[in-house]
Amino acid sequence: MTIEEAQKQVDDWINTTGVKYFNELTNMTILTEEVGEVARIMARTYGEQSFKEGEKNANLADELADVLWVLLCIANQTGVDMTHALENNFEKKTIRDKERHRNNPKLQSGKE
């Protein structure tokens, strides 16, 4: 599935099954909540925190998909073509960072 197809499928789902989009501010809040759920899994899986009872079945892939879903909702609501935005973002990062990361001693193998 392309990003364009994903945006369209989210829009189709919202306008049929979901009835309508939540407003932009509500979706921004939901996005923040979903990112928090990803953070919780990351802290417990890769960090020092342990899972609480009932969190053991946490699914990182599902939570990342929730983040993407809400992000695509916000893009649809605000008229952002995410394919175009991502292409522009790659170009910006390539121009800005093409030597920066290569010259960062913290990123050299074996160094911290």
pTM for the model stands at 0.87
In a domain, 89, yes or no: no
Structural domain of 26: 3-81
In this prediction, residue 110 carries a pLDDT of 61
In a domain, 37, yes or no: yes
Residues 6+ apart with CB under 8 A from 67: 31, 34, 35, 38
More confident: 103 or 28: 28
In this prediction, residue 109 carries a pLDDT of 74
In a domain, 19, yes or no: yes
More confident: 102 or 91: 91
Query: What CATH number should be reported for the domain holding residue 30?
Result: 1.10.287.1080
In a domain, 70, yes or no: yes
In this prediction, residue 87 carries a pLDDT of 97
In a domain, 96, yes or no: no
Q: How many structural domains are present in the chain?
A: 1
Supply angle C-alpha 13, 14, 17, rounded to 5: 65
85-94 per-position pLDDT tens digit: 999 999 999 9
How many helices (H) and strands (E) are present in the chain, helices listed first? 4, 0
In a domain, 90, yes or no: no
Sorting pLDDT into bands at 50, 70 and 90, what band is 101?
confident
23-81 per-position pLDDT tens digit: 999 999 999 999 999 999 999 999 999 988 887 788 999 999 999 999 999 999 999 99
